[in-house]
Structures are given as C-alpha cells and as structure tokens.
Amino acid sequence: MNQRRLVLGAAALGTLGALGVLPGQARAAAPPLPAVLSRPAMVTPLAQQVALLAAARAGKWLVAGGERGTILFSDDAGQTWAQARVPAQISITALQFANDREGWAAGHFGALLRTADGGQSWTLAIDGVRAAQVLLQGATDDAQRQAAQRKADEGADKPFFDLALAGGSLLAVGAYGLAIETRDGNSFQPLAARLPNPRQLHIYGLRAAGQRVFAVGEQGLLLRSTDAGASFAALPSPYKGSFFGVLLMGDSTVLAYGLRGNIWRSADNGDTWAQVANPVPVSISAGTLLADAGAVLVAQNGDLLVSRDQGQTFLRRPAAPPFPAASLAVADDGHLLLTGLRGLKRQAMG
C-alpha cells in the first residue's frame, strides 16, 4: 500500500455529478460484502507461526493479531498463547485497548472488531461498505461526496491501518483517506471530513495523548489536533517520503518515523522538526513508549532502536537472526513482544 493508485475523476455536475450520478442514471447497487467478513477465523495449532501484523498490551494481557483473522492472547507476558474467537477471516492491522478488558482491532475490508474480555473473543462492529456510507452521509462538500461515493462504489476493499482513543472516542484511519470514529461502538461518524487530506493519501499512523492527536501517512502527511480530534490542521512536513507511525512523548515531544529509516523529532508539538540520526537505513515498522520516558522503534529487519532521552538519540540493537518485524509491545515483565511475518518473538530489553 506504499504506492497510490491513479484515480481519474470528472468535473462535478451539481450535486448529482459530484455523487457520480448523471441525470437519468440510477446508482448501481453496492458491491457485495467479501465472504471472509462472515467466515470465523480458523482455530489452528500453527496460529503462532502465521504472519502477525499487530501487537498491544491490555493490562497484564498481551494481544497479537494478523492474517486471516488470527488473534492471540497471553496472560503470562507472552510465554504461552491461546487463540481468540474471531468472526471474520480478515488481516488484523492494528490493536488498541482502553483498559484490560475493552479493546478494538482494525483490519482489511474496512473492518473494525470489538472485544470486552481482554481479547479472548471479538465481534464485528463495522465493515467497509458501512464505513463508506458513513463517509458519504457525513460529507460536507462536493469533493468529499465524490471521494466517499468512490469508496462506496468500490466496496469493502480498503484496509484500516491504525487506531487511537481520544476524548472518549475511538478514531480509525486507513487507505485512501478512510477515517471514521465512534463513541459507543455502535454508531459511527465520519472523521475524514475533519482531516485536511484532499488528495486522499493513505494514513498509516495515529496516536493520541490527552488533547493531542497526530496522524501521519504517505508523502510526508502530518496532521495535528489539539482538541482530542474535534478538528485537525495540516503541518508542513520536513520529509516527503512516507511516515509509518508516530509517538507522543511528554507534553510536546513528537517522533515521526517511516521509510528508509527516517526518524524526525519535534520538541514543540510539531511546529518545527529535526532529523534524528539512525545508522539503520531500513524502514521502521512500529514504535512504542517505555516506562522510563524512553522509546523503542523496530525496523523491518527486526533491529531495535532504543532511546532513553526522549528520542534525541537512538542506540541500535541488531536482530540476531534477522526477524521481519511488523509491530511490538512491552509486556508487564519488561520483555518486548515482536510480531512479524514469522509469527511471534519475545525478547529481553537487555
């Protein structure tokens, strides 16, 4: 998903034209839902070896998710695992927990899943067809209507990439500007209408802390909210490549990371940026905060980059052997959980 598709459009012809409907034409029925959205994930003894793309901590629990709806949970810091009950065979791309019981999973086909038991069982909250309708109903101008109608016409084919909890709401972002929110897990509202993203760039990373919310994505996309997601502003970007994630540290420090090992740091909440030296020219997949005000990033080859000074410098800890990493989380015993194309890896911080 690092390259955008070329989308050709026509000039709007009033409201009907903006919706893609010309006079005398009827809107075609929405594409059918993919069958995988109604097929429960298969329970298999090989679940720990599938490609796992997401990891999160929920109190004492660790939760990991990946291909074909596989979600695993552990109550002993990742030493043993059990497989969750999941209602759809979608790839899980992100996990977010409000506490040790209530959490969310994002995935392909515009799906969001919900759990109320620490990740042991999940329900489907919304799919890509419903998400497109939410965007369409909440569009406030012709450009938004046209973009939302394209998503509706194309069906449930776009993934969510990341999640954050802000101001009592769950925010979810993804491909081609896909972005929605919910406060109760039942009704959904468009978040895309608040994001200054007119080119519908992919939004890969999302983080919230207090009133601060940052979203990052392809072509250096940087979006900031200072009111818990009620409004967003676009920030001038120091880098024109893709950002894959963002971390919020302290009251005003921001780390954005991504393609080719780029790490950029702001000490003034995104107003100005400085590049952080990184000896590993490998794209950075994920990052998380440490309890001592530090941070750890993981490169796609499994190398760790650890900072103890709020992201001003990073020390490399090479992976041995290389581990194609996608995400990471910190267990309650201080160990790291890495997930990737070869499943799970638990390791000490050292």
Confidence band (pLDDT; 50, 70, 90) for 350? low
pLDDT score for 349: 80
Give the mean model confidence (pLDDT) for residues 58-67: 96
Q: How far apart are CA 278 and CA 177, in angstroms?
A: 29
pLDDT at 25 over 60: no
In the chain, the largest separation of any two C-alpha atoms, in whole Å, equals 68
For 170-229, the pLDDT digits (tens) are 999 999 999 999 999 999 999 999 999 999 999 999 999 999 999 999 999 999 999 999
Model-level pTM?
0.90
**Averaged pLDDT score across all residues of the chain:** 90
Structure tokens at 204: 């890969």
User: Which residues sit opposite 315 in a β-bridge?
Assistant: 306
Instruction: Tell which residue, 19, 54, 5, has the closest CA to residue 201.
Output: 5
pLDDT at 166 over 90: yes
Strands (E), 59-91: 61-66, 71-74, 82-83
For 256-291, the pLDDT digits (tens) are 999 999 999 999 999 999 999 998 899 999 999 998
pLDDT score for 32: 82
The most confident of the ranges 18-27, 148-157, 333-342 is 333-342
Residues 204 and 246 sit within 8 Å (Cβ to Cβ): no
pLDDT score for 144: 87
For 90-145, the pLDDT digits (tens) are 999 999 999 999 999 999 999 999 999 999 999 999 999 999 999 999 888 898 89
Kindly write down the DSSP assignment for every residue of 310-325, as one continuous string. Answer: TTS--EEE--SS---E
CB-hemisphere CA count at 13 Å for 149? 18
